[in-house]
Structure 1
Amino acid sequence: MQTNQLPLFPLSAVMLPFGRMPLQIFEQRYLDLVRDSMRSDTGFGVVWIRRGEEVARQGSGKQQFGETGTIARIVDFDQLPNGLLGVTIEGRERFTLVDTRVAANGLVLGEVIVQPPLPPAPLEGDWESLVEVLESLGQHDHVRRIGLDINVNDAWQLGYTLAQLLPIDESLKYDLLNASNSEHMLDQLDLILSEISGEG
């Protein structure tokens, strides 16, 4: 199967398709990554750091990444009050991480197999409660700032966007990233929400 080389942005958070996430950029390797991505209008890979730290320190050990990642595109940027560059990224296709190497500037490059775009999946069954939770979250200032624009009638978009916003453990988000079908993902989200609300 054909692989592609993709610059990687390792994070301690899981990036999901259709989800949006704000980032502060301060390391030179990632400033270069953002600049190149915006100039060429291309994406980069976001991978979850299973073990290790976002900012590598001498003697802190090697980072371990999740095997599944998400291609991200920059959809907004500005200068933050602290003077750092702020960008908003949006998740696109998933990919499988086959191998990695580190470039001279410290940027991690990945050999990846890009998975096909997720086809729209109509909502089957009564998921109005999930739509209501997403609409409620959409009223928060933080969510307003990242400017969500999704089709809540597409099960993938509803599920992944909601999972991105919920304050749940990153390992759960990673499990959802690897969901085999949209119905399974929505079932899992429903269980997670029941546990959060104390109904589980």
Structure 2
Amino acid sequence: MYFNFCGSNSNKKKFFLINIPLFPLKLVLLPYEKLPLHIFEPRYKKMISNSLDHGDPFGIVLRNQNEIHSIGCSVEITKVFKKYPNGEYDLMVQGKDLFNILKTDRKMDTIFGEIDYIESPMPIKDKELIKLQESYLKVLIRFGKEINIERHLDFNISYQFIKKIQLPLRLKKKILEIPSENERVAFIQNIFNNILSDSSENNNTINNFIPEA
């Protein structure tokens, strides 16, 4: 679901609500996923400065022309690679928690969203977890990724298994919108099955993905 930058989504039930600045990008960021960014616009330089200095939260949300998606992801700044004299930043952020956007408003040039956080998923059950782990490791091996098996076997949330895999936007958007962890696990398992069954050399779905904002 999309709505205009300054609109409301009255169908969402309100629980604990907060207002945070939103960073619309032409991508989907999911929990656990890391994203390198170059920040150069004045409004976003201020947003990053406030987050670094005061711990103010902000969220990344999918942008489609003059609309934004109704679900976004809060982020944590995990590393600042460089701060330029003009206030620009090179940094790394990581997705934390998904949220529903209930209403948006503009303050100066920045879009703020009234949000409520979506409950974090519970760990995957043993049988489904083992199956997903096996497929995930096979995908990494297929694409020649170095594997620390012990670290990867600690994964037990669906989002962890796709945080290093570049997927088409339409698939990431679908994953973003799936409300059930069981359904999400089944969907990701199907993605892995399709990757492993495709014998073509052009099935290059694992790459570095560095957008500039």
TM normalised by structure 2 equals: 0.70
Q: Which residue of 1 aligns with 2:26?
A: 12
Deviation at 1:9, TM superposition (A): 0.6
Q: Which residue of 2 aligns with 1:131?
A: 137
Distance 1:122 1:42 in 2: 35
Q: Which residue of 1 aligns with 2:94?
A: 90
Q: Is the 8 Å Cα contact of residues 30 and 159 (structure 2) preserved in structure 1?
A: no
Deviation at 1:18, TM superposition (A): 0.5
Q: Which residue of 2 aligns with 1:175?
A: 174
- Taking every aligned residue pair, what percent have the same amino acid on both sides? 22
* 1:144-193 alpha-carbon deviations (Å, 9 max, x no partner): xxxxx87643132433414xx31x32121011122221422422432552
Counterpart mapping for 1:41-120 below 5 A: 41-49=55-63, 51-52=64-65, 63-79=66-82, 84-104=88-108, 106-120=109-123
Q: Is the 8 Å Cα contact of residues 98 and 113 (structure 1) preserved in structure 2?
A: yes
Q: Is the 8 Å Cα contact of residues 48 and 65 (structure 1) preserved in structure 2?
A: yes
Distance 2:152 2:35 in 1: 14
Deviation at 1:86, TM superposition (A): 0.8
Q: Is the 8 Å Cα contact of residues 19 and 91 (structure 1) preserved in structure 2?
A: yes
Gaps of 5+ in 1: 53-62, 140-148
Whichever residue aligns with residue 70 of structure 2, its letter is E
Deviation at 1:196, TM superposition (A): 6.0
Distance 1:25 1:97 in 2: 23
Distance 1:103 1:95 in 2: 20
Using a 3 Å threshold, how does the CA distance of structure 1 residues 116 and 131 change in structure 2: closer, same or farther? same
* 1:102-121 alpha-carbon deviations (Å, 9 max, x no partner): 111x0110011111233332
Which runs of at least 4 in structure 1 moved beyond 4 Å after TM superposition?
134-139, 149-152, 194-200
Whichever residue aligns with residue 118 of structure 1, its letter is P
Distance 2:152 2:174 in 1: 22
Q: Is the 8 Å Cα contact of residues 121 and 157 (structure 2) preserved in structure 1?
A: no
Gaps of 5+ in 2: 1-13, 204-213
Using a 3 Å threshold, how does the CA distance of structure 1 residues 25 and 121 change in structure 2: closer, same or farther? same
Whichever residue aligns with residue 90 of structure 2, its letter is G
Q: Is the 8 Å Cα contact of residues 139 and 196 (structure 2) preserved in structure 1?
A: no
Distance 1:185 1:78 in 2: 35
Using a 3 Å threshold, how does the CA distance of structure 1 residues 169 and 44 change in structure 2: closer, same or farther? same
Q: Is the 8 Å Cα contact of residues 99 and 116 (structure 2) preserved in structure 1?
A: yes
Deviation at 1:133, TM superposition (A): 2.9
Match of 1:37 among 35, 39, 51: 51
* 1:55-92 alpha-carbon deviations (Å, 9 max, x no partner): xxxxxxxx2111111111100112289x8411111001
Distance 1:36 1:152 in 2: 34
